[in-house]
Amino acid sequence: MEIIQTVVDWYMANLNYLTVALLMVIESSFIPFPSEVVIPFAAYKAAEGGLNVFLVVLAGTIGALIGALVNYYLAKYLGRPLVYKLAGSKAGRILLLSEEKIIHAEEYFVKYGNTSTFIGRLVPAVRQLISIPAGLARMNMRNFIIFTTAGAGLWNIILAVVGYFAYEYKDGILPYLDDALIALGAAFLIILIVKSVRKRRKGKPSGSEPGNELKG
């Protein structure tokens, strides 16, 4: 489709180290935005000669760390009651937050400890939120930066490899690119709609649900 091609062309033309870093700041904060549409495309552009793939990974990792620090400090200074209040509010629903997601992230942090900020960066359902329980627990900042940077760096390397080698096989990919983008866009919209419907039907979790002891 011409519209999609126009959007992709505009996106690629404006993709640079600064925009990669800024988009990864958003991706690593509580705002829902997938890193899968940032690093692979930037790495693809690097394979074309427009960027340096190592600097792409570096910019993406710096951005991810900054976004994680935003979550960390918000959680640290807001405290657990306000974090859960935000997650259960209309603003939280717009940002695809929920009490269940925060509880899940806290349980993950409790289970794996400080290393969860490394492991969690590789887990899609946890990646954006793992910094929140770290902030609530007031995790040592040096350890937080080390584990977060290592995890984000590894994830970005994986995505960069995918994007870089996609360029090598572009002749086999390009004929199906439009269909793939349409399918991904449709899938993303369906997921958002399904999650929204489920939240409305389920309503606010009761105090008897498992995991509420974390909120005390």
Residues in the chain, overall count: 216
Residues spanned by the domain of 158: 14-215
Residue 46 lies in a domain: yes
Q: What is the pLDDT of residue 125?
A: 67
Highest mean pLDDT among 73-77, 126-130, 172-176: 73-77
pTM: 0.73
> Residue 102: which of 145, 61, 131 has the closest Cα?
131
User: What is the structure's pLDDT at 211?
Assistant: 47
Most confident of 2-11, 36-45, 54-63, 205-214: 54-63
The total number of structural domains that make up the chain = 1
Q: Is residue 199 included in any domain, yes or no?
A: yes
Torsion over CA: 200, 204, 209, 213 (sign): positive
Work out the angle between the directed axes of helices 39-48 and 2-13 (0-180°, nearest 10): 80
Which stretch, 50-54, 55-59, 103-107, 164-168, has highest mean pLDDT?
55-59
Is residue 95 one of the residues assigned to a domain?
A: yes
| Alpha helix positions (H), the chain | 2-13, 17-28, 39-48, 53-87, 90-94, 99-112, 116-119, 131-136, 141-168, 170-173, 177-202
Q: Identify the CA nearest to 98 among candidates 78, 113, 84.
A: 84
In a domain, residue 3? The reply is no
Closest CA to 35 of 135, 146, 122: 122
- pLDDT, residue 144, reads 93
Residue 97 lies in a domain: yes
- Residue 211: alpha-carbon gap to chain centroid: 23
Burial class (CB in 10 A: 0-12, 13-18, 19+), 206: exposed
pLDDT in tens, 155-209: 999 999 988 887 776 655 555 655 665 676 677 678 767 766 776 676 555 444 4
